[in-house]
Amino acid sequence: MKVAMVSEHASPLATLGGVDAGGQNVHVAALAREIAGQGHEVTVYTRKDSPDLPESVAFGPRLNVVHVPAGPAKEIPKDEIPPWIPEFGKWLHDRWLFDRPDIAHSHFWMSGLATLAAAEELRVPVVHTYHALGNVKRRHQGPADTSPRDRIRAEAGIGHRVDAIIATCRDEVDELIRMGVPRRATHIVPCGVDAGMFNSRVAPLKRPGRHRETRPRLLSVGRLVPRKGVDTTIEALRYLRDAELVIAGGPPSSALHRDPEVTRLRWTAAQAGVGARVRFLGQVGREALPGLMRSASAVVSVPWYEPFGMVALEAMACGVPVVASAVGGQKETVVHGVTGVLVPPRKPLVLARALRKLLDDPVLRTAYGIAGADRAKVRYSWDRIASETLAIYNGVLSSRTLERNAS
């Protein structure tokens, strides 16, 4: 099967941790690689955001990344990309005229629009993954939401026009139904985890410095945006006087001092009197993350809302207990009382109590770690996720064939 994946702002080749580079980049890269690994030909189309990028890059066997020239060849915030989407769609259309995929899989609403613009006339079936929904963002972020005004309406429209929707958790399906998207078009396939890279087999990273093995370490990993709730963890530290908090994500370490969100979080830490126990690492590369996770007593992931939440799953795969907010995909990946603890978002005291219990009980931490690693490997391996995705592609192709034969 020839698969076109469209991920306009989230390139599988990007460095992670910045404001707009996170879970979607990881998801698209791993899914594309795994589908190609199962014998299919996959091309990922993403926006050319640097003049130095070649049109096409081989990313693995039967797998290419194509940089689509749409808009300026430089990084622009994702919320400012919409004016270039028609150009992106036109470019895809012209390409697919002579290089038609059997199926297109779009990621995020802007890719959905570009993909439909190219695919509808050429009768290429489209599967869509939203990754995040505008109305959820609006509900939580209110006036701070910088998404374009048309996003919410566009997302509902995409839901009616595509052949199938892949939601990453049950909460997302409920949202889609509330938006009027037909229930029968939606399927749930969660994100996966690379259990070869994120595993519990290797010894934890040795901790340098005088606090080695003495101070319990809490770890937060992710893009540094307010909705990730890192401030809740900082405030919880006030009640955990023996613990340190290490924060991975944001800009590269050399640019931390210029980052407004880091400044805000440092201020929160200073106000809470915990500044000396909070450390910002900036962006951490994929290869360094598993060791960093294994060096922690617990990974804390307490966003206000979370379409999926790969970090919780990665920590589980590393055999590290997770304390996560009971939102979105985390309600399904983290099994409360088995692989970690679920807490309400934005409640520092409740979070501190859950962490205190965990930090005081090494047997419980080990038990959660073992169960988490097992669950990550058995349920969330990328080969299983790719097979479930391919089953949806095949269902869509069969329906199209039936429709053609009937007409």
Residues in contact with ligand UDP by CB under 6 A are 16-17, 22-24, 26, 221-223, 248-249, 283-284, 286, 289, 308-311, 314
Q: Which is nearer to ligand UDP, 167 or 289 (CB)?
A: 289
The least CB distance from residue 314 to ligand UDP, in Å, is 5
Instruction: Give the integer Cα–Cα distance in Å for 70 and 371.
Output: 46
User: CA 13: distance to chain centroid?
Assistant: 15
* Distance spanning both ends of the chain, measured CA to CA: 24
How many beta carbons lie within 10 A of that of residue 257, not counting itself?
A: 11
Which residues make beta-bridge pairs with 126?
104
Q: Which is nearer to ligand UDP, 18 or 89 (CB)?
A: 18
| Token reading at 14 | 């990007």
The least CB distance from residue 189 to ligand UDP, in Å, is 15
The least CB distance from residue 399 to ligand UDP, in Å, is 30
Q: Which is nearer to ligand UDP, 89 or 309 (CB)?
A: 309
Q: Which is nearer to ligand UDP, 40 or 377 (CB)?
A: 377
The least CB distance from residue 10 to ligand UDP, in Å, is 9
Whether the CB-CB separation of 135 and 107 falls below 8 Å is answered with no
The least CB distance from residue 397 to ligand UDP, in Å, is 29
Question: How much of the chain is in helix, strand and coil states, percent to nearest 5?
Answer: 45, 15, 35
Q: Which is nearer to ligand UDP, 119 or 310 (CB)?
A: 310
Nearest residue (beta carbon) to ligand UDP? 22
Instruction: Give the integer Cα–Cα distance in Å for 132 and 142.
Output: 15
Whether the CB-CB separation of 322 and 372 falls below 8 Å is answered with yes
Whether the CB-CB separation of 272 and 182 falls below 8 Å is answered with no
Q: How far is CA 137 from CA 5, 101, 131, 264, in A?
A: 24, 32, 12, 21
The least CB distance from residue 194 to ligand UDP, in Å, is 9
The least CB distance from residue 123 to ligand UDP, in Å, is 32
Tell the burial category of 61 from Cβ atoms under 10 Å away from its Cβ (0-12, 13-18, 19+).
Answer: exposed
The least CB distance from residue 332 to ligand UDP, in Å, is 13
Instruction: Give the integer Cα–Cα distance in Å for 133 and 374.
Output: 30
The least CB distance from residue 122 to ligand UDP, in Å, is 31
Instruction: Give the integer Cα–Cα distance in Å for 385 and 210.
Output: 43
Q: Which is nearer to ligand UDP, 272 or 296 (CB)?
A: 296
Q: How far is CA 326 from CA 301, 329, 344, in A?
A: 10, 9, 6
Q: Which is nearer to ligand UDP, 159 or 303 (CB)?
A: 303
Q: Which is nearer to ligand UDP, 309 or 348 (CB)?
A: 309
Question: Phi and psi at residue 5, in whole multiples of 5°?
Answer: -105, 135
Q: Which is nearer to ligand UDP, 29 or 70 (CB)?
A: 29
The least CB distance from residue 285 to ligand UDP, in Å, is 7
List all residues 6 or more positions away from 15 whose beta carbon is below 8 Å from its beta carbon.
21, 283, 285
Tell the burial category of 400 from Cβ atoms under 10 Å away from its Cβ (0-12, 13-18, 19+).
Answer: middle
| Token reading at 407 | 């007409």
Q: Which is nearer to ligand UDP, 91 or 380 (CB)?
A: 380
